[in-house]
Structure 1
Amino acid sequence: MELADRYNTALVCHRWNYLACHPRLWLRVDQSVKDLFETGVFPDLKTAVSVARPGDTILIAAGGSHPVSNIQIKKQLCLVGGGELPDETTLICSRGSDSALEFLSTCKLANLTVKAELGCCLLHRSGRLTIDGCVLQCETNPLDFLSCPIVSTAITSTPMKSNGDSVTVLHTRIEGGAKAVLTSGDLVLQRVRVIYARTYLYFWFDVDHQ
């Protein structure tokens, strides 16, 4: 299957959701698993990413918090939270780390909460990054100017290529930090849309070449 097709298939109906989410089809991150020799199950995200093959989907178990720090992702992967809501699957990046996740390839995040105490939640270096139905949180502190949910440093010499660098944000809550997006390459914020819910703002936007 192409990147994230399995996740999209799970949204069709209950039967397709059961088939698409069958444990044998996913790599899983589950801290509660006692048998670490169970095929396709890993105690932490860093180990799962290192073992995954390009095009794999990693299902991260709901409940509790998963520590992450400067995890580099250099292959096409889809990271999906295992709960019904993104708040049920939380990745926490501790103070002193540059980022929770660093992307150097085309990837997708879905149904996840990513928290950063100081630094950025997601660091985009290259590739096409899609953030769908997530929550990105930077902790409130006196150094808010150093906190940013999304940072992109991508620079592309051929911006018209269809497979160039970009960040796409869909139905995502962004909380804390001085700015939602900080770019230091040649990508710019475009096509911003915001929907006001009762308690949150939901964002849709692209970070792409003008």
Structure 2
Amino acid sequence: KKLSTKRSSCYIKDLDDGCLMLIFSFLSPIPDRYNTALVCRRWRFLACHPRLWLRVDRSVKDSSFPGVYPTIEDAVVAARPGDTILIAAGGVHQASDIQIKKPLCLIGAGELPDETTLVCSNGSESALEFMSTCKLANLTVIAELGCCLLHRSGRLTVDGCVLQCESNPLDHLSHAIVTTATANISTQDKIPSLLTKSSADCVTVLRTRIEGGAKAVLTSGSLTLRRVRVMYTRTSLFFWFNVEET
């Protein structure tokens, strides 16, 4: 008997929802997973499923929409370690002294970082306070009196953002854009990082526009500013730098 030369074919459209969602979970949230939602209705449903990321939308007034929250703080509290939070573009999101003690990724949903703005109100020490490994991407963070980002521990990555801190005529009242400080974290708050293999504390800034403030970075302890690169454009300065142990 002759062996059959026909090969069984399997197409991605034949996979069940659970298998497709598992594949989507390995894609980077922006732009890969975001682009999969544009393929068809089924892929949009799976790519936007709350199991893959949470969403912040100020227009939501109740909890009837699973995985959608009216404020960033609500989404951070509900998130599990390793989750991605997609923050809706348009309007202003309030972010004052929000402590993040678990590995999370916060991403702006607009095409440009200027379309998704987080504002830290007067009297707050910072907009976001990081105590674990996190990533911030495609967002604008504005601090009126205080620093934009306060890093206490973990590996913080800031990619393609705008960080703006209001300058004060009195220099001693002005704050740095990014501040590092020693963390006082209890044992129960220490959650193993899901986003990186290394546990060393550091801050990595990539393609980020920095405006105002007394200085770009204020370091403490053994962390120092290293490998600074600046790209000049007609209207802005874009920075690449690392804050890490010497």
TM-score scaled by structure 1?
0.88
Alpha-carbon distance, 1:49 to partner:
0.3
- Between Structure 1 and Structure 2, how many residues are aligned? 202
Aligned to 1:87, what secondary structure does the other structure show? helix
Partner of 2:210: 174
Equivalent residues in 2 for 1:39-78 (5 A)? 39-78=66-105
Alpha-carbon distance, 1:103 to partner:
0.3
User: Which amino acid letter does the alignment assign opposite residue 173 of structure 1?
Assistant: R
Q: Encode CA deviations 1:29-52: one digit per residue, 9 max, x unaligned.
A: 000124531000000000100010
Query: Residues 63, 124 of structure 1: CA spacing in aligned structure 2 closer, same or farther, 3 A cutoff?
Result: same
CA contact (8 A) 2:61 2:70 kept: no
Aligned to 2:74, what secondary structure does the other structure show? helix
User: Which amino acid letter does the alignment assign opposite residue 244 of structure 2?
Assistant: D
Task: Answer with 1 or 2: which has the greater Rg.
Answer: 2
- Alignment equivalent of 2:201, drawn from 157, 160, 165: 165
Whether 2:134 is the aligned partner of 1:107: answer yes
* Higher share of residues assigned strand: 1
Aligned to 1:148, what secondary structure does the other structure show? coil
* Higher share of residues assigned helix: 2
User: Which amino acid letter does the alignment assign opposite residue 175 of structure 2?
Assistant: S
Q: Using the alignment, how far apart are the partners of 2:48 and 2:159 within structure 1?
A: 22
Aligned to 1:118, what secondary structure does the other structure show? coil
- Alignment equivalent of 1:186, drawn from 222, 225, 243: 222
User: Which amino acid letter does the alignment assign opposite residue 139 of structure 1?
Assistant: E
CA contact (8 A) 1:90 1:114 kept: yes
Gaps of 5+ in 2: 1-21, 184-196
| CA RMSD across the alignment | 2.3
Equivalent residues in 2 for 1:1-210 (5 A)? 6=27, 8=28, 10-12=30-32, 15-16=35-36, 18=38, 22-24=47-49, 25-145=52-172, 146-154=174-182, 162-210=198-246
Q: Using the alignment, how far apart are the partners of 1:12 and 1:38 within structure 2?
A: 24
CA contact (8 A) 1:124 1:151 kept: yes
Alpha-carbon distance, 1:126 to partner:
0.2
TM-score scaled by structure 2?
0.76
Alpha-carbon distance, 1:152 to partner:
0.5
Alpha-carbon distance, 1:148 to partner:
1.3
Aligned to 1:46, what secondary structure does the other structure show? helix
CA contact (8 A) 1:168 1:207 kept: yes
Aligned to 2:114, what secondary structure does the other structure show? helix
CA contact (8 A) 2:97 2:126 kept: yes
Alpha-carbon distance, 1:12 to partner:
4.8
Q: Encode CA deviations 1:79-125: one digit per residue, 9 max, x unaligned.
A: 00010000000000011000000000000000000000011000000
Partner of 2:192: none
Aligned to 1:50, what secondary structure does the other structure show? helix
Q: Encode CA deviations 1:4-51: one digit per residue, 9 max, x unaligned.
A: 964x35435984464699321320000012453100000000010001
Alpha-carbon distance, 1:141 to partner:
2.5
- The worse-fitting range, judged by mean Cα deviation, of 30-39 and 96-105 is 30-39
CA contact (8 A) 1:10 1:16 kept: no
CA contact (8 A) 2:36 2:47 kept: no
User: Which amino acid letter does the alignment assign opposite residue 200 of structure 1?
Assistant: S
